[in-house]
Structure 1
Amino acid sequence: MESIGTGLAAIDWNDRRADVYLSRPEKRNAMTVDLMRDLTEAFERIDTDDEVWAVTLLGEGPVFSAGMDLSMMRDRVEPDSEIDRDTFPALLETIESTRQPVVAGIKRAAPAGAFELTLPCDFRILGRDAKYGLLEVALGTFPHGGGTQRLPRLVGLSKAKEIVLTGEFVDPKEAKRMGLVHELCDDEAVDERAKAFADRLCENAPLGLENGKRALNAAFEMPLEQGLQFERTLGRELDDTDDYREGFEARLEEREPQFRRE
């Protein structure tokens, strides 16, 4: 495992999969400015690495994350606070724009900011006993690290209002029913299930994964006709690739394809 930046995040390189860890287990991976910056650096490095085809986002130790560090948040409300309020949004945008698909493994707890941290990920694996929700309205504010914008795109406006405005934890089974998470499992198995999900993605053509993600992410950002044109453009980028030819040859020959990102 390679420590990143100040050591509050780490990357475990596993062939075509990279596992990114919040690495502050003694504090239940509560997020500080340094941890958020380290995570940003980790995803920026992965984004430029052609050897990585899929990514997981995990918490070191028994908990995904307790959310924002409470002492940091207390200091933040002081009038002369020098805390950089753009650090968290920048991290979420970096995760969202990472070209490889990202799978979050959410075990035990992911309240408030930790919940928002999982939203720009492409897939979410949730523990059956996890405390998962947006609590900010009970703290005198509301989720404004992207929660009010990303969540409605995932579950619809009505459900998003329920989650944000009640400030209650989301029942894991309901999270699965509404499409917020993709799989439920025992909390002890979350990390391994997230890795297995990412490994399954790695069996596919990496350029197809990347361009497919780009096209899907654009679906809510463009009018339909513009989105369809963007989709066609991204598809044509792959027409002359070796992987595209390999995919069809393998299917015709009834064998597993050997993709090379070429």
Structure 2
Amino acid sequence: MGTFTALTRSLGHHCVKNSKSYNLPNPYIYSNGHQYQTHRTLILESLSSETVRLRSLSDSDSGIVEVNLDRPAAKNSIGKEMLRGLRNAFETIESDESAQVVLICSSVPKVFCAGADLKERKTMTPSEVQNFVNSLRSTFSFIELQWWVPCPHMDELCIFCSNSSSSDMHEILTALLYNAICDLLFKDLSFACSQLLQNFPPVLQPKNALRVPTVAVIEGVALGGGLEMALSCDLRICGEDAVLGLPETGLAIIPGAGGTQRLPRLVGKSLAKELIFTGRKIGGREAMPMGLANYSVPAGEAHSKALEIAREIIQKGPIAIRMAKKAINEGLEIDLPSALELEEDCYEQILNTKDRLEGLAAFAEKRKPRCADPSAMWVFMQSSFRDFSGQERNSI
């Protein structure tokens, strides 16, 4: 497996630096595997949802987008329709380059999200439940920044090689990667990358994600899947009357939409185990000291505080904010030397932007920077790099 990892990193490094047609992003190169989700997700139809509403703010708040949960009869519990609505909302935001910050809120008083719709779940078969939970996990992961979704289980890759063992598959993958690297060194990189993608379609599956900061605005109940959705956000603002918890063990199951992984990353392993083992609920006042919330404010003021933070963010360089999110989220999942290299790559992506030059000019002139409209900033994921001739070129 060490050989496989080394070869992957080597190829991926050159892909990121030099690719003309296939810019393979760093998260796969440096992945530890366990952070990614499998490809078994529920297909969500492109239908409008009455339970999730999008609202783009205007004027001085332009760039702030609100995702409002609106299912009062069920306390915003997540069923198939709401899950479809959430996914569609996040994909809509991701395709809108003018979006700079996302607030996930509730239109229902004293409720953020009560978790999964257990009444609906009673009607599901075990297979349907598994598909639903996988889709829920995938949707929440979409809120974070994960660019590639390698399958974490080698046995699952054996579908490409019937009657092959995992060790056989390791050898096959290593050989194919070795051939791709030879193509990289002696032929054309775009051909090498195309061969890699053709040979490993489910291993290197491109996946978009929300690149902009997300803020969970929690007033009232946030339990089970509702808390797991908040955990996947970059920031969490709680009202003091909020009630947070992962009570799944009381139903003889475990948090299945990221709770067992994201909670310990925020509050530490020991406290996360206590909260999950006991299913204990905590109040909004407790959430901030333990690291579960960024702010705990008087009841009814969480939205105002979140809006205040969002207004600060939209005044900053939008490209820098997105690349900072990328560097932090992905860097925490890898070793420090690789994370520092990731940071270097993210910094390089910013060097040739007009925003950086505007920031320097604004500092020298003692004024606020006037950053470019993010809708024109597809360049933020591109960089100036050198092709095989050694001449610098811009990918746009």
What is the TM-score with the length of structure 2 in the denominator?
Answer: 0.62
Residue of structure 2 in register with 1:13 after alignment = 56
1:170 alignment partner in structure 2: 282
Partner of 1:37: 84
Q: Once the 2 structures are TM-superposed, how far is the Cα of residue 80 of structure 1 from its aligned partner?
A: 7.1
Aligned match for 1:240, one of 343, 352, 356: 352
Kept in 1, the 8 Å contact 2:287–2:296? The answer is no
Aligned to 1:134: 246
Higher alpha-carbon deviation: 25-34 or 127-136: 25-34
**Structure 2 residue aligned with 1:65:** 113
- Paired position in structure 2 for 1:251: 363
Distance verdict in 2 for CA 1:28–1:232, change over 3 Å: same
**Shift in Å, 1:193:** 1.9
CA contact (8 A) 1:103 1:197 kept: no
Of residues 218, 237, 240 in structure 1, which corresponds to 2:330?
Answer: 218
Provide structure 1 residue ranges, at least 5 long, that are not aligned to the other structure. Answer: none
**Take 2:115 and 2:128, find their aligned partners in 1: how far apart are those partners?**
20
The answer to whether the 8 A contact 1:53-1:206 is kept is yes
State yes or no: 1:92 paired with 2:119: no
| 1:190, distance to aligned residue in structure 2 (A) | 1.6
2:317 to 205, 227, 233: 205
Deviation at 1:172, TM superposition (A): 2.5
CA apart distance, 1:81: 4.7
Distance, in Å, in 1 between the alignment partners of 2:142 and 2:51 is 17
How far residue 161 of structure 1 moved from its aligned partner, in angstroms, is 0.7
Matched, 1:230 2:277: no
Partner of 2:220: 108
Deviates more, 1:19-28 or 1:128-137: 19-28
Please give the alpha-carbon distance, in whole angstroms, between the structure 1 residues aligned to 2:267 and 2:143: 19
Q: Which whole-Å CA distance do the structure 1 matches of 2:128 and 2:350 have between them?
A: 49
2:280 is paired with a residue whose SS is coil
Cα–Cα, structure 1 residues 81 and 246, in superposed 2: closer, same or farther, change >3 Å?
A: closer
Task: Report if aligned partners of 1:134, 1:163 keep a CA contact under 8 Å in 2.
Answer: yes
- Note the alpha carbon deviations across 1:109-153, whole angstroms, 9 max, x for none: 101111111111000001101111111111111212110111111
Cα distance in 1, alignment partners of residues 127 and 229 from structure 2: 26
Shift of residue 59, structure 1, vs aligned partner: 0.9
Alpha-carbon displacement from aligned partner over 1:156-182 (angstroms, at most 9, x marks no partner): 111111111110112323321121100
Which has the larger Rg?
2
1:79 deviation in Å?
Answer: 4.9
Pairwise CA RMSD: 1.6
Aligned twin of 1:75: 123
Aligned CA distance change for structure 1 residues 80 and 55 (closer, same or farther; 3 Å)? closer
Q: In the alignment, what sits opposite 2:267?
A: 155
Tell me the distance in 1 between the aligned counterparts of 2:66 and 2:128: 33
In the comparison of the two structures, how many residue pairs are matched?
A: 258
Letter in 1 for 2:119: S
SS of residue matched to 1:55: strand
Unmatched 5+ residue regions in structure 2? 1-46, 146-209, 378-396
